Structure 1
Amino acid sequence: MKIRPSLRLYFFASMVVLSSAMAIGFSFLSVNYFIDGLDKGLNGVMLKLSQTTEVKPGETKELVGFNIASRWEDMPASIQQRFKKPTEVGLLHKTKDRPSMFSMPQNLFFVVYYPNPEGEPRYISRIMLEKDKPQLLANIEPEQRMLWIAITGIAAIVLFAFFLFMVMKKIAKPVESLRGWAKSLNQTNLQQTPPDFTYNELNTLATLIRSSLLSANESVEREQRFLSYASHELRTPISVIRSNVELLNRLSEKAPLSDKQQLTLQRIERAGLTMSDLTETLLWLSRNDDQQSAPEPVNLAEKITTLGNELDYLLNSKQVDVLINTDNQNTTINTEATGCHIVLTNLIRNAYQHTQQGQVRITQQGSRVIIVNSSAQTDTPHSANNTNKPANIGYGLGLELSEKIIKRHGWVYEVNDMPGRYEVVVDFS
């Protein structure tokens, strides 16, 4: 399972890491400045001693813990062992005894070279041994000092993380409220003014969300009204066309029409039936969800057989074989009858209409209907469309409208599109 990244967690972790890095960095910087300050203070004391202390060659004077000599050979042996003879004026040399990088220094050694006002050399050194520390400081182990430093640092980071969490919680609460409000929006509460989300930016975002949804909702309503009005308006001319076709069929019984006239009349009749079915489909789709009727018993086997026969005119002058396999004629299922009728009509019409040569197979198993239209045509290498798939097989407006109806009812719907074969599976359960 893929874990989605959280913006809140990312921000929290980034701030904790950044603050920890800054705390550690400033700690090292503070320690460095502190030590540098001590070195400068010590160097200043050594300079003063070099300018005011008289010392003869061969002897060493000790004042307040500092050793002053005029010759390097007169310096303490521990200083001579750890340092080379300094030649640069005023440069403080230092070293320390430290068992490990995480332990406190035990012994410190300093030495510097200054000439006195007469130009005579002066070497000043300072030795700080662990055994010479005050008893109060000597009782504190270096490990304890490092532990307290670590505890103090961790406590500071934890305290910062706690305050950061509280600030984020205060900021995140209005954001969570905005998300909950956006998820609860529907046609009923969309007309209401958005609540106050504390921050101006969130209020602006809520206003934009509401405006966008209002615009989309108005567009959907306009489309539904257009479909409803157009379907109602088309009903009248389609009814006129169909009634006049029926009248012409009756008149042709007394005065037979020519073959061309009969063929033209059949085309008008087929077009009228197609327009009638599409109009009913568009009108049904424009209805609101609360206007849908309750499920009722539907005999799928009988309906498929009836529709197959009624739409058989679409196969005139075509070399298409139709195979219909259904269950027991007495078997019924409970489903939305109008939607089921429209879907089956459109799918069967679509299969008949877009198969020029080949086979249409309709299989019904309980509430499951499988419609397969396949082509027996083969293309030559010099064909305009060099493909085994028949032209426009399986496609049409009826198929798209059927998909919308199926989606509205939540029926199972599968499409298998292969070269030369188009299969549609619908389960009306």
Structure 2
Amino acid sequence: MKRKIRLKWFVALSFLALALVLVAGYSFLSARSFVRGMDSVFAGNMDQVVESYVETVPAGKRRPLNLFSGYHIAGRWQQMPDEIRKVLTPPVQSAVLRKYHDAGWFSPPEKVYFVMRVTCGGDSYFISRTVTRASASPLVGRNAAQNMHLLLLLSLFSVLTLVGITWLVIRQVERPVRALGQWAHGLNESSLDAVPPDFSYPELNELAELIRTSLGSVKKSLEREYLFLRHSSHELRTPISVIRNNVELLHKLQEHPGGNRESRQKRIVGRIDRASLTMKHLTETLLWLSRESEGELPAETLDLEQLICDLIEESRYLLKDKDVDLIVGTDACPVSIPGIAARIVLGNLIRNAFQHTHCGTVRITQKGRCVEIKNHTAGENASAPDLGFGLGLRLTEQLTEKLGWPYKRRSEADCHLVEVCLG
């Protein structure tokens, strides 16, 4: 597997490469400027020498090759020294040509050839000079050495400066990045809701918020799955019990045949069929709630009065052996609503009222689509077994909120009141 380079080393190497490129570039420019300066000096000297040559030497003696002030001057290119003509070509007007002989990368050349064409007094002259190590002025060597030393010092200073800047940049960036990593590693369920700290840079802050949002979505998804399992296990207990009880009853009928066997079997099969259908619709409703689907549950037309009466009968066993008066006031009201959702909501509210009432009155009032359930809580035994209806009330709140059904709960000194409007 290819080993990946760390980000800080990548940044450091990038800055180091940039430093080397800059040093090399400025070194090249410095050397080129030095050479061009030398060309300019020689060009100025050659101009002055040719002017002095024209003023000093008579016109009849100017055309042949002459040695004047250390320079070779001739009127034609063919008259220039053979050594010059071999290494250089005829120059254009006022341009200096230069050629090095045996020049290495890190050593000065053995010879340097200079040639220039100068016009003076209406005539053109070729002037050249060959500079060797022995004939060169010591000042040139000292200047070149001083320039080289200065160039090395500047290069070293530039490299050290860039290394220092690189170290500061890496340190300044690495600290918030490391802090972001430590913060991300330390995230848990309790800290996900907290606002992320400031990591100095907007990009890192955006990344932190993205991490928190992503993990928050995962957390909510897991919570929905967990609640789905709890809700399904709670709500499916009743239809599963109905199926199991009726299956046992069906086995007994087969073992002890008697009169009206066929009609009793038909009733039992009908109850099993209704319970299985309830399980099917209940599972679809819970899946719809847990996945936060944008669609709507299918509606069906049912009589709200009859639904309340059926749910009361299913939960009446919770009032057994209790001194509780049940008062029911309903009227016929056909409605078109999601039937399973209505059974879950009303069934949980009725079962909760029956479970937590140990004496007194339970009043169930239905007017149109609105249902009110009021039960006395005085005398409630805190040590009574929890049948899971607290979970059912949370499911009721989630369903009514998502369906948009008005739902209110309030507790008074000795009673509990809930109101819900279906639709």
What TM-score do you get using the length of structure 2 for normalisation? 0.52
What is the alpha-carbon distance in structure 1 between the residues aligned to residue 101 and residue 88 of structure 2?
14
CA displacement 1:221-250 (0-9 Å, x = unmatched): 122112201211101110121012112212
- 1:181 partner letter: W
Contact 2:27–2:151 under 8 Å retained in 1:
no
Contact 2:192–2:216 under 8 Å retained in 1:
yes
1:106 aligns with 2:81: no
- 1:162 partner letter: G
Show the 5 A alignment for 1:168-247.
168-247=170-249
What is the alpha-carbon distance in structure 1 between the residues aligned to residue 45 and residue 144 of structure 2?
29
1:116 aligns with 2:125: no
1:50, distance to aligned residue in structure 2 (A): 3.1
CA displacement 1:89-127 (0-9 Å, x = unmatched): 333222222352332223212111223223x23121233
1:177, distance to aligned residue in structure 2 (A): 0.5
Report what 1:408 is aligned to.
Answer: none
> Which deviates more from structure 2 when the two are superposed, residues 131-140 or residues 161-170?
131-140
What is the alpha-carbon distance in structure 2 between the residues aligned to residue 71 and residue 217 of structure 1?
94
1:181, distance to aligned residue in structure 2 (A): 0.4
1:17, distance to aligned residue in structure 2 (A): 1.7
Show the 5 A alignment for 1:139-154.
153=155
Distance 1:103 1:145, change over 3 A: farther
- 1:220 partner letter: L
> RMSD between aligned alpha carbons?
4.0
> Which deviates more from structure 2 when the two are superposed, residues 200-209 or residues 146-155?
146-155
Contact 1:109–1:126 under 8 Å retained in 2:
yes
Contact 1:113–1:122 under 8 Å retained in 2:
yes
1:42, distance to aligned residue in structure 2 (A): 2.7
1:72, distance to aligned residue in structure 2 (A): 5.0
Show the 5 A alignment for 1:19-30.
19-30=19-30
Report what 2:384 is aligned to.
Answer: none
- 2:203 partner letter: E
Matched residue SS, 1:228: helix
Aligned partner (choices 131, 149, 157) of residue 128 of structure 1: 131
Distance 1:44 1:137, change over 3 A: closer
Report what 1:68 is aligned to.
Answer: 73
Matched residue SS, 2:192: helix
Distance 1:31 1:98, change over 3 A: same
1:61, distance to aligned residue in structure 2 (A): 5.1
Structure 1 ranges of 4+ moved more than 6 A? 139-142, 144-148
Distance 1:31 1:135, change over 3 A: closer
Show the 5 A alignment for 1:246-265.
246-255=248-257
What is the alpha-carbon distance in structure 1 between the residues aligned to residue 144 and residue 45 of structure 2?
29
Q: Percent identity?
A: 35
1:154, distance to aligned residue in structure 2 (A): 5.5
- 1:22 partner letter: L
Distance 1:59 1:21, change over 3 A: closer
1:182, distance to aligned residue in structure 2 (A): 0.8
Distance 1:115 1:139, change over 3 A: closer
1:27, distance to aligned residue in structure 2 (A): 2.5
Contact 1:115–1:122 under 8 Å retained in 2:
yes
- 2:213 partner letter: S
Which one has the largest radius of gyration? Answer: 2
Report what 1:314 is aligned to.
Answer: none
1:180, distance to aligned residue in structure 2 (A): 1.1
Matched residue SS, 2:73: strand
1:91 aligns with 2:90: no
What is the alpha-carbon distance in structure 1 between the residues aligned to residue 104 and residue 219 of structure 2?
72
Aligned partner (choices 153, 157, 160) of residue 159 of structure 2: 157
Distance 1:89 1:140, change over 3 A: closer
Corresponding pairs, count: 266
CA displacement 1:362-387 (0-9 Å, x = unmatched): xxxxxxxxxxxxxxxxxxxxxxxxxx
- 1:204 partner letter: E
Contact 1:60–1:74 under 8 Å retained in 2:
no
- 1:211 partner letter: T
Contact 2:72–2:128 under 8 Å retained in 1:
yes
Report what 1:422 is aligned to.
Answer: none
Matched residue SS, 1:189: coil
Contact 2:53–2:68 under 8 Å retained in 1:
no
What is the alpha-carbon distance in structure 2 between the residues aligned to residue 135 and residue 97 of structure 1?
19
Report what 2:17 is aligned to.
Answer: 17
Contact 1:60–1:75 under 8 Å retained in 2:
no
Report what 1:290 is aligned to.
Answer: none
Matched residue SS, 1:196: coil
Matched residue SS, 2:200: coil
What is the alpha-carbon distance in structure 2 between the residues aligned to residue 146 and residue 49 of structure 1?
30
1:138, distance to aligned residue in structure 2 (A): 5.4
